[in-house]
Amino acid sequence: MTETNSGGKQKLVVDREKTVPFLLRMFYRLNHHHRVDDFTPDHLPTEDEVQIYTWKDATLKEISNLIKEVVPDANRPNAKLSFKLVYIDNLRGKYAFKELGTIHNVTSSEHDEINLDDARFVIGDFLDVAIYFGPPPRPIERRSSVLRDRNRERDRGGRNYRGIGNDRDRDRDRERDRERDRERDRGDRDRDRDRDRDRNGMRIERDRRDERRDNRNFRDRRR
């Protein structure tokens, strides 16, 4: 590997004849990126995966051309490919995103010559690619944010996220209260039954003690 100056910046140049390429895993979606919480140590969005072998001096333009070979939508003249680096944040112990740039099919872009080394890519990182055809893709809300908004809407007394009105919520609450009352009644009956069983057992034991005492007194009188 050698480095050369390009525009005052150090650019990595790999001798591809002598250097073994590595596996680069990329995950793409149409019109938007994946969520960062789609990436966990136990799960990756492999249904949208593309794999290539490449080198660290591969540019975003070169990588986008390889994607177009296997993803037909990426070949459309008005297609744009937005790239993000997916890497492990060692401080938080989970994946994070880093914006890299956007490649246009028809026109050149200032990001065309950004390579993996410029992005501080290390082997084991991924690329997330959004293929879109109009305005830049909007970030997707995290699941936690969506749930928080749904709960806030429900607390305000409006319709919840499934479009079910407050009447349905009240019916569900009443049914839950009735079930709780039934459970409480069953518990009370079980406790009463156990208490009666204990009382009967104590009475039987007391009767047996009285019988043994009477028998003992009878034998003593006969002596």
Residue type, 141: E
Same structural domain, 151 and 88: no
Domain end point (choices 117, 138, 159): 138
Same structural domain, 109 and 150: no
DSSP 3-state assignment of 156? Answer: coil
CB 3, CB 13: distance < 8 Å: yes
Same structural domain, 160 and 98: no
Same structural domain, 76 and 145: no
Average pLDDT over residues 103-107: 89
Beta strand 2-6 pairing with 9-13: antiparallel
pLDDT tens per residue, range 10-40 = 789 999 999 999 999 999 999 999 999 999 9
Give the residue with greater pLDDT, 6 vs 130: 130
Domain end point (choices 119, 138, 157): 138
Same structural domain, 117 and 134: yes
| Interatomic CA distance for residues 24 and 96, integer angstroms | 17
CATH code of the domain in which 71 resides: 3.10.20.550
Domain that holds residue 9: 2-138
For residue 109, what pLDDT is reported? 85
For residue 186, what pLDDT is reported? 72
Same structural domain, 163 and 134: no
Helix (H) or strand (E) holding 190: helix 166-222
Q: Running DSSP on this structure, what letter comes out for residue 36? A: G
CB 127, CB 86: distance < 8 Å: yes
Same structural domain, 170 and 71: no
pLDDT at residue 181 greater than cutoff 50? yes
pLDDT tens per residue, range 45-95 = 999 999 999 999 999 999 999 999 999 999 999 999 999 999 999 888 899
Instruction: Tally the residues of the chain.
Output: 223
Q: Domain total for the chain?
A: 2
Same structural domain, 188 and 100: no
| Interatomic CA distance for residues 147 and 26, integer angstroms | 29
Domain end point (choices 138, 153, 172): 138
